[in-house]
């Protein structure tokens, strides 16, 4: 946490470089703000500084309705729908679409499948299934290059439901069989 004088100078200057770095809480109103809040600056004797919105709330302050400090930069709410897409990508990396549907993934995220597809189109430029397929192929290619596992085991570890689907996907993407791309050991 920065020292009081640095925080106070940034608050008075409404310095955007400190937005999200600390939060100003006003004892007399019970409200906490971002350093860039456009409201009239409170008296210095009535303020305290906190390193996070959660710390200010834990101390009993409520968020300002004008600057919305709970949506400070780099927080999940600040990132908006990108946060949802990032969570979905992490779940896909963990294999969420290897055995479940896009609808099940959307339910885990608390949104509808159509909305998830729209978010992926806007942020990623591909559907969740296309992303999952690409990630499976990347895993399979990495396993082909770095291991001597049998093809059936590579297909299983990469997230394919069957060896046949693995071979078909590989032939579609690379125009050849997986074994033809395997580096000699």
- If one counts the domains in the chain, the total is 2
Residues 155 and 94 in one domain: yes
Residue with tokens 């294999």: 95
Catalytic residue, candidates 25, 56, 67, 72 = 67
Out of 39, 56, 76, a domain closes at 76
Which pLDDT band holds residue 117 (cuts at 50, 70, 90)?
very high
Question: Is 7 a known active-site residue?
Answer: no
Catalytic residue, candidates 21, 26, 31, 37 = 37
Here the CATH number for the domain that contains residue 144 is 1.10.10.60
Residues 92 and 182 in one domain: yes
Residue 80: strand, helix, or coil: coil
User: Is the model's pLDDT at 144 over the cut of 80?
Assistant: yes
Nearest to 116 by CA among 92, 94, 98: 92
Catalytic residue, candidates 7, 10, 33, 151 = 33
Out of 60, 76, 92, a domain closes at 76
For residue 99, the model assigns a pLDDT of 83
Residues 69 and 94 in one domain: no
Catalytic residue, candidates 21, 56, 64, 131 = 64
For residue 79, the model assigns a pLDDT of 61
Residues 124 and 164 in one domain: yes
Residue with tokens 């019970």: 30
User: Is the model's pLDDT at 168 over the cut of 90?
Assistant: yes
Expressed as residue numbers, the domain containing 26 is: 4-76
pTM, entire model:
0.59
Cα 80 to its chain centre, rounded Å, is: 10
What are all long-range contacts of 10-16, with beta carbons under 8 Å and residues at least 24 apart? 10/35, 11/35, 11/41, 11/47, 12/41, 14/38
User: Is the model's pLDDT at 185 over the cut of 60?
Assistant: no
Residues 64 and 91 in one domain: no
Residues 91 and 175 in one domain: yes
Here the CATH number for the domain that contains residue 43 is 3.40.10.10
Q: Return the half-sphere exposure (C-beta side, CA atoms, 13 A cut-off) of residue 63.
A: 13
Spatial separation of the C-alpha atoms in residues 173 and 39, rounded to whole Å: 57
Which pLDDT band holds residue 123 (cuts at 50, 70, 90)?
confident
For residue 60, the model assigns a pLDDT of 94
Which pLDDT band holds residue 66 (cuts at 50, 70, 90)?
confident
Which pLDDT band holds residue 75 (cuts at 50, 70, 90)?
low
Spatial separation of the C-alpha atoms in residues 1 and 57, rounded to whole Å: 17
Out of 22, 44, 76, a domain closes at 76
Nearest to 36 by CA among 87, 99, 84, 78: 78
Which pLDDT band holds residue 44 (cuts at 50, 70, 90)?
very high
């Amino acid at each position: 946490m920065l020292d009081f004088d640095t925080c106070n100078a940034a608050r008075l200057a409404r310095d955007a470089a400190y937005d999200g770095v600390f939060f100003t809480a006003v004892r007399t109103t019970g409200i906490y703000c971002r350093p860039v809040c456009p409201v009239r600056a409170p008296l210095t004797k009535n303020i305290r500084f906190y390193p996070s919105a959660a710390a200010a709330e834990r101390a009993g302050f409520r968020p300002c309705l004008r600057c919305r400090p709970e949506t400070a930069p780099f927080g999940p709410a600040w990132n908006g729908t990108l946060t949802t897409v990032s969570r979905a990508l992490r779940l896909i990396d963990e294999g969420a679409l290897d055995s479940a549907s896009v609808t099940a993934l959307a339910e885990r995220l608390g949104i509808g499948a159509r909305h998830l597809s729209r978010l992926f189109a806007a942020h990623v430029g591909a559907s969740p299934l296309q992303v999952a397929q690409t990630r499976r192929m990347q895993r399979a290619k990495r396993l082909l290059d770095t291991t001597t596992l049998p093809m059936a085991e590579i297909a299983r570890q990469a997230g394919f439901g069957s060896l046949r689907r693995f071979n078909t996907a590989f032939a579609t993407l690379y125009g050849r069989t997986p074994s033809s791309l395997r580096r000699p050991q």
